[in-house]
Structure 1
Amino acid sequence: MPRQQPDRNRINRHKERGHYDTETIHAILDQAKICHVGFNMDGQPFVIPMAFARQGNSLLLHGAPNSRLLGQLASGFPVCVTITHLDGLVLARSTFHHSMNFRSVVAFGTARPVNDLEEKHAALIALTEHLTPGRTTLARAATDQEVMATAVVRFEIEEASAKVRRGPPLDSPKDRQLDVWAGVIPIHSVEGEPIPAPDLKPELCTQEPVKPA
């Protein structure tokens, strides 16, 4: 279970925005589709964006077998995974007090390769369902050969913390007298209308891309 670790996991600035409970951390993870994976190789830091899915207290990641990142992960190197949702731009009466409303998670741990064929199938199904719920009931399932040609790693969360900012700007009492608009511009991530593939059969253009829950 994620727990506070003073040496690398404690939130020092705006401690009141910090959360260490599993429920908050998992909720933020589950609402994201992209994570950023940070690792160090030969003294050079790298941060790579990747699709992911949470399964229990682990994150599932996949890619090409010759991926440098997945090779590092599979070798047991320590890794940091971050996720951020930008929920709004916070506009104060002074530029100094401008801010953002957000939800973020920073997770630390190590990963292991998923080599068992059945486990890899399940992991790839979980990834597809996380990105597009219901899609695996409509699309062709991956073959054993396709699964074997894909690298999958399971990142076990050892420690994690969440940080959340909500609410209006925090102007100083003096600035509140200024005749300047202040407030929040909300930011939402929404899915647009599906765009059929150019080679899709005409009779399938109106078909739903995913099966409703």
Structure 2
Amino acid sequence: MVDDRLKVRSYPQRARYDLQFAAEVLDAGRIGHLALTRDGFPHLVPMMFVRVDRAVHVHCRAGTQLATDLAGGARVAFAVTIADGVVLANEVRFHSMNYRSLVVHGVAEEVTDEAAKRASFDALAEHVWPGRRGLSPATTEQLSTVALFAIPLVEFSGKQRTGPPLAGITPRPNVWTGHVDLHESPGAFHRAVDGADAPEPPWPF
């Protein structure tokens, strides 16, 4: 039974509430947005993340206001959206996107165990670019400067759209209608250190 607060209201047939879909979106996404309210004012923070088992792991600098908020039990929402395609109709009002999205609600739990933090950051490195796990192990001092939090995958709702326009597809001269797939691919590789002889990281994954 899905909590009424989590139900998708618009196009409910596109809703997904299963853990497998949530994991797929989190594993495919690169940037998430963390939302919370502080002193009655909404805050939205874009950040990297990684899924570790049944939780979303996010991090920030230790001692910041965000770290204080999360450690203090602030309720948060964390959203990830993946654009899978552009939907083109012959009227702008029927244009759309094909996408997968997920919103996770809950209270973040601080991760303080050093081994768990190391494992999380290894997972994050691998998520950012497969093959990076373990290349630059964090020192104890480096770990101490970072606050790590886990948002449990308990309260969440997903949504997915696929396919062509739902309306605005009556043929018109010189107006193409349909949907166009989008795929992520790298551009040029810009080396950070002059003279470094390490090879470029491989793509595709």
TM-score (norm 1): 0.88
* Cα distance per residue 1:7-64 (max 9 Å; x no partner): x210111011111111111101110111100000110000100100001110111121
Q: Gapped runs of 5+ residues in structure 1?
A: none
Q: 1:147 aligns with which of 143, 160, 180?
A: 143
Q: What is the SS of the residue equivalent to 1:136?
A: coil
RMSD over equivalenced CA pairs, Å: 2.1
Aligned to 2:178: 183
Q: What is the SS of the residue equivalent to 1:128?
A: helix
Report the Cα distance in structure 2 between the residues aligned to 1:13 and 1:184, rounded to whole angstroms: 21
- Read off the aligned partner of 1:188 and give its amino acid letter: H
1:212 Cα deviation from its structure 2 partner: 9.7
1:69 Cα deviation from its structure 2 partner: 1.9
Aligned to 1:4: 2
1:210 Cα deviation from its structure 2 partner: 6.2
Report the Cα distance in structure 2 between the residues aligned to 1:149 and 1:176, rounded to whole angstroms: 58
Aligned to 1:157: 153
Q: What is the SS of the residue equivalent to 2:119?
A: helix
Q: Which has the larger displacement, 155-164 or 35-44? A: 155-164
Q: 1:191 to 1:67 in 2, by over 3 A?
A: farther
Report the Cα distance in structure 2 between the residues aligned to 1:84 and 1:155, rounded to whole angstroms: 17
TM-score (norm 2): 0.91
Report the Cα distance in structure 1 between the residues aligned to 2:10 and 2:204, rounded to whole angstroms: 42
CA contact 1:133–1:211 (8 Å) conserved in 2: no
Query: 2:11 matched to 1:14?
Result: yes
- Read off the aligned partner of 2:81 and give its amino acid letter: T
Q: What is the SS of the residue equivalent to 1:122?
A: helix
- Read off the aligned partner of 2:7 and give its amino acid letter: R
Aligned to 1:132: 129
Q: What is the SS of the residue equivalent to 2:2?
A: coil
Aligned to 2:165: 169
CA contact 2:62–2:144 (8 Å) conserved in 1: no
Query: 2:189 matched to 1:197?
Result: no
CA contact 1:135–1:211 (8 Å) conserved in 2: no
Report the Cα distance in structure 1 between the residues aligned to 2:128 and 2:145, rounded to whole angstroms: 21
Aligned to 1:39: 36
Report the Cα distance in structure 2 between the residues aligned to 1:108 and 1:17, rounded to whole angstroms: 19
Q: What is the SS of the residue equivalent to 2:201?
A: coil
- Read off the aligned partner of 1:176 and give its amino acid letter: T
User: How many pairs does the alignment contain?
Assistant: 204
Q: What is the SS of the residue equivalent to 2:183?
A: coil
Report the Cα distance in structure 2 between the residues aligned to 1:33 and 1:26, rounded to whole angstroms: 13
| Mapping of residues 62-73 of structure 1, within 5 Å | 62-73=59-70
* Cα distance per residue 1:54-107 (max 9 Å; x no partner): 011101111211232222112111110000011222111222211111110011
Q: Gapped runs of 5+ residues in structure 2?
A: none
Report the Cα distance in structure 2 between the residues aligned to 1:209 and 1:184, rounded to whole angstroms: 32
CA contact 1:110–1:157 (8 Å) conserved in 2: no
Q: Percent identity?
A: 33
